[in-house]
Amino acid sequence: MADFLQVATATETRDSAVKLAQSVVAARLAAGAQIVGPVASVFWHQGEFGAGEEWQLLLKTRADRYAALEAHLLEHHPWKNPEVSAVPMTGSEGYLRWIDETTSPDGAG
- Per-residue pLDDT tens over the stretch 40-52: 999 998 899 999 9
Q: Measured between alpha carbons, how far is residue 50 from residues 16, 24, 40, 47 in Å?
A: 21, 29, 11, 10
Does residue 87 surpass a pLDDT of 60?
A: yes
> What burial letters (b/e) apply to 70-79, b meaning 16+ CB within 10 Å?
bebbeeebee
Three-state SS for 40?
strand
H/E element, 1: none
Report the predicted TM-score, pTM, of the whole model to 2 decimal places.
0.91
